[in-house]
Structure 1
Amino acid sequence: MDKFENLQTNNEKQHYIPMEVTAETIKDFGINPADVVWTRIGNKPKKVVMIPVTEEQYKAYMRPLWREDKRQQRQEPPVSLDKMYEETEYEVADTDSDLEADVMKKMLIDELHKALDELEEIDRTIMEMYSNNHSEAEIGQAIGMSQKGVNKRKHKVLLKLNTRLKDFR
């Protein structure tokens, strides 16, 4: 049984369709607030008054909704990963890429991260701010050092990191 149909006592179906109402329409048209019910129209709950209609009117109202339901039921199921894999065309990898170079780069980056983790907190702060394009004066203000002191410390850290990465290569 459809949500807009009700059975009368004489076994004849009485059909209803919802008419959306607002507080203004209830007041303006003198609709009894007890007749107002909540129902879903589409995906949204709405305040409606159920209007009795003929079977033809009911079918005319419901036909597009039924058609949409059928269309959704007939829709192709979501694509499976296997099907997508079978139907996908693959591009040939760049011949310029060098797997060994990529692995070495990854190893160097990992080693750099380890070296940065071993630095003193102040040196890590300097390097982090430097990598975010802060000036030496801004870095000095943030950590309580002069610009020249930041410069010296930054160069020591860069030399230390460079030496460690050279040894790693």
Structure 2
Amino acid sequence: MSFRKITVKSGDEEITMNVTEEEYRNYFRPWWQQKKHDQRNREAMEQNGYTEESYEEWKENDMRTELFAESMEELAEKRMLLDVLRDAMDSLLPEERELAMKVFGEEMPLADYADMKGKNPRTLSDHKRKVLSKLRKFFVEHGFEIDSR
């Protein structure tokens, strides 16, 4: 097993430690991916005639516009939809709500949820269908069109 010596800096503190090659890659992989993504964006901008300074300015402005792009109408619509979703979840029984939150909201696989609860996955699959049916009925009653796939 190979080890690497790394130095971690935080403010004035600096720590040197030995880590395995696997730990090293797992730690740095997200950073490398983000760095590569930024490099590709910068290269694309430079091909279109922008300089690195204008890329940084564009990136900052782009992030600012994303944060403030929503109009008051869009925010009001989102708030209304969230209220309807909250009412829909409140219409479920507590165990149905938990199933919906874990399986639909957190996208937990049904098999994992069944293991967590110590129940049969087939039984929970039936419960999941019932919850979906209740939610569909709720949304239809409140004027939403539901795709019946």
By percentage of residues, which structure has more helix?
Answer: 2
Q: TM-score, normalised by structure 1?
A: 0.37
Greater relative CO (CA pairs within 8 A, separation 6+): 1
- The structure number with the bigger radius of gyration is 1
Q: TM-score, normalised by structure 2?
A: 0.42
By percentage of residues, which structure has more strand?
Answer: 1
